[in-house]
Amino acid sequence: MNELPRSRVFVSLGANLGDRLGALVAAREALATLPATNVVAASRIFETAPQDHEKQPSFLNQVLCLETGLRPHDLLAEGQRIEGEHGRRRGLRFGPRSLDIDILLFQDVEAEEPELMLPHPRMLRRAFVLVPLAEIWGCARGMPDLDVAAFAQAAARDQAVRLYDVPEA
């Protein structure tokens, strides 16, 4: 994998099958072990109702701010590898999943390709992304000039999002 100077990246984690909390914790740990990558900040974990296909279990969601030397496509490939290691099978779009890792924003990068769109094209319409993103937006560097808090408040008014009380380890 080719390395770039370290960039800030926001990624979202989600799971609604199996051990949802365990999947998010494992994903965060796996991302932190990628080459030239560390977790700068992690939002709290939120429980959210499914969207698009409502007849499925609730999701747990979290947003991470990473600093990485990986290129966007390399980070995407690593995220998909981690998803696969946690039982992710691609089927119904927006359907149930054991783990979902999405790149939301990548410092100073815009992309419009079939496999990678940056910024993430649906993030500003999704409270399950915006609410946790707003918690750690202070880590943003080289990101679009967005009022994430205002977007999060508007989305949260329309979509069910509640803080997930993470049990003590």
- Does pLDDT of 139 surpass 60? yes
| Domain coordinates in residue numbering, the chain | 3-163
Cis peptide before 96 (omega within 30 of 0): no
What are the pLDDT digits (tens) for 51-79?
Answer: 766 677 899 999 999 999 999 999 999 99
Q: What is the pLDDT of residue 46?
A: 93
Higher-pLDDT residue of 70 and 89 is 70
Q: How far is CA 20 from the centre of its chain?
A: 14
Return the active site residues: 88, 97, 100, 102
Say which CATH topology domain 3-163 has. Answer: Alpha-Beta Plaits (3.30.70)
For residues 158 and 29, the model is more confident at 29
